[in-house]
């Protein structure tokens, strides 16, 4: 029997409404007891002192690009999950835009096998919606469900054909899988490089309009209501999308939504300006799809996150190699390496008084777990909570600690972040996966 006792932290477990000083005891990989001084009652245990730290369920990321197989020069399952552990994430859902894409049982099984061998945390694969992500014909959803995927997505691209999207939604209901759509109409974004607005004009770059997202959000909500299927909207980024989703939820449509830390906190100005407006730059580390938007979008996203119209925060961790980014803006790959900065970046909202800490933790834990019903999967009961019997996934957080983002020190191979050199206030002190410590800093000391 192996026991880990985490002593004297401020335990925040939003699912159970718990917020107070307590011990958390994990026995044989599962939560055994949570309560004041519970750790003192266990005799033989490994012990961590969490005095002054917040103790919460491990974070769940519904949107992670691990790049393996096929793009190991950008990231591997080993490095991506090491980055997850450092970011406090104990479950990551792996997007299928790999090479080959995850559109067959064999491809999904290869990811699961590699995860078994090298992953630091839990990897739940996502299968493709269409064969080869080409948007022409449906991938074999039943076969993918049987292989263990937790959702279907062609992320990176939207399923543009409305009839195919309708059939994908219809078909998905048989396997109880959400369809996670990257909502941007390719015919409206064309070769757009960033948000269509004054910064794009100033830089002379072609824009991707907010309407490219909003027309697909509206269309796909209508198709979800037609079919009764579960539509998940990836990385929502505009105020207009939020209004559409809010109305759909009020009608009772089965629509869930994620937002990224960068869309909540950074604007399109990040692409052109550093510390001042004096100097103009073309910052490819701020190039991402959908693009960073405007202040009024951030306000709508934050309000929707706060009131639960947006279910969860997902990183869209999109690692790229230096050679993909240190090139002309229009040739550079889109994406931000986000796992290791997610908590610190989101804490800006807490420090600004826009979201409270228990709500932020909810949107990183039980929010995503229940949005996709992951907590009802065999072996994952209670995922995103510290309920007795739940998986022993725990994160220790220092919400006040300041640190400077140094991409060279990332566990991820992707050093592509617009936050290099930024000071963040909010630090992951330790991460425990299945009762084992998978990330630890000097802030969380052994007793
Ligand atoms: O910026 C992005 N990068 N957006 C996506 O949807 C895909 C991702 C990637 O795979 O690099
Ligand atoms: Zn996407």
User: Rounded to the nearest whole angstrom, what is the distance from the C-alpha of residue 27 to the centroid of ligand 1?
Assistant: 39
- With 90 as the cut, is the pLDDT of residue 445 above it? no
404 by Cβ neighbours in 10 Å (0-12 / 13-18 / 19+) ranks as exposed
395: its two tokens: 């994160």
Catalytic residue check, 307: no
Active-site residue, from 13, 316, 375, 398: 316
pLDDT, residue 277, reads 87
Tell me the pLDDT band of 256, cut-offs 50, 70 and 90.
very high
Instruction: State which ligand 1 atom lies nearest to the alpha carbon of 288.
Output: 1
Digit-coded pLDDT (tens) for 294-311: 999 999 999 999 999 999
pLDDT, residue 447, reads 86
Ligand nearest to the backbone CA of 96: 1
121: its two tokens: 């945390």
DSSP string, 326-363: SS-TTTSPP-B--TTTHHHHHHHHHHTTSS-HHHHHHH
Paired with 332 in beta bridges are none
Instruction: State which ligand 1 atom lies nearest to the alpha carbon of 334.
Output: 1
- With 90 as the cut, is the pLDDT of residue 278 above it? no
What predicted TM-score, i.e. pTM, was given to this entire model?
A: 0.98
* Contact 65 CB / ligand 1 (< 6 Å): yes
Structural domains of the chain sorted by starting position, each given as residue range(s) with its CATH number in brackets? 58-381 (3.20.20.140)
User: Rounded to the nearest whole angstrom, what is the distance from the C-alpha of residue 35 to the centroid of ligand 2?
Assistant: 40
| CA dist 290 → 122, 224, 367 (Å) | 27, 21, 22
pLDDT, residue 274, reads 83
Digit-coded pLDDT (tens) for 229-246: 999 999 999 999 999 999
Contact 175, 150 (CB under 8 A): no
Say what percent of the chain tops pLDDT 90.
97
Tell me the pLDDT band of 446, cut-offs 50, 70 and 90.
confident
Ligand nearest to the backbone CA of 181: 2
């Amino acid at each position: 029997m192996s026991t880990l006792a985490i002593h004297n932290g401020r335990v925040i477990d939003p699912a159970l409404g718990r917020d107070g000083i307590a011990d958390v005891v994990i026995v044989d990989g599962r939560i055994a007891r949570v309560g004041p001084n519970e750790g003192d009652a266990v005799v033989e245990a490994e012990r961590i002192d969490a005095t002054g730290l917040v103790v919460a369920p491990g974070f769940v990321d519904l949107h992670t690009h691990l790049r393996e197989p096929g793009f190991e020069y950008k990231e591997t399952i080993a490095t991506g999950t090491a980055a997850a552990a450092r970011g406090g994430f104990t479950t990551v859902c792996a997007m299928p835009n790999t090479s080959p894409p995850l559109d067959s049982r064999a491809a999904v099984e290869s990811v699961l096998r590699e995860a078994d061998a090298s992953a630091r945390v839990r990897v739940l694969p996502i299968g493709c919606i269409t064969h080869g992500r080409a948007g022409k014909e449906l991938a074999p959803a039943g076969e993918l469900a049987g292989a263990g995927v937790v959702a279907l997505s062609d992320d990176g691209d939207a399923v543009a054909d409305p009839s195919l999207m309708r059939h994908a939604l219809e078909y998905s209901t048989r396997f109880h899988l959400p369809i996670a759509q990257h909502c941007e109409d390719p015919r409206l974004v064309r070769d757009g490089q960033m948000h269509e607005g004054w910064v794009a004009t100033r830089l002379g770059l072609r824009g991707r309009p907010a309407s490219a997202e909003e027309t697909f959000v509206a269309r796909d909500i209508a198709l979800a209501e037609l079919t009764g299927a579960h539509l998940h909207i990836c990385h929502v980024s505009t105020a207009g999308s939020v209004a559409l989703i809010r109305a759909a939820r009020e009608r009772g449509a089965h629509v869930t939504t994620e937002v990224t830390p960068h869309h909540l906190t950074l604007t399109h100005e990040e692409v052109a300006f550093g510390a001042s407006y004096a100097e103009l730059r073309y910052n490819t580390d701020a190039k991402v799809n959908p693009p960073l938007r405007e202040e009024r979008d951030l306000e709508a996203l934050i309000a929707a996150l706060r009131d639960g119209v947006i279910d969860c925060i997902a990183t869209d961790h999109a690692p790229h190699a230096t050679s993909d980014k240190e090139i002309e803006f229009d040739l550079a790959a889109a994406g931000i390496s986000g796992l290791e900065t997610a908590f610190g970046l989101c804490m800006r909202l807490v420090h600004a008084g826009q979201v409270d800490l228990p709500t932020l933790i909810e949107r990183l834990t039980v929010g995503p777990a229940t949005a996709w019903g992951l907590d009802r999967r065999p072996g994952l009961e209670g995922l995103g909570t510290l309920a007795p019997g739940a998986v022993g996934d725990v994160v220790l957080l220092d919400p006040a600690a300041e640190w400077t983002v140094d991409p060279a020190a990332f566990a991820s191979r992707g050093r592509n972040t617009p936050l290099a050199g930024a000071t963040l206030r909010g630090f992951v002190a330790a991460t425990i996966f299945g009762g084992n410590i998978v990330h630890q800093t000097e802030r969380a000391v052994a007793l």
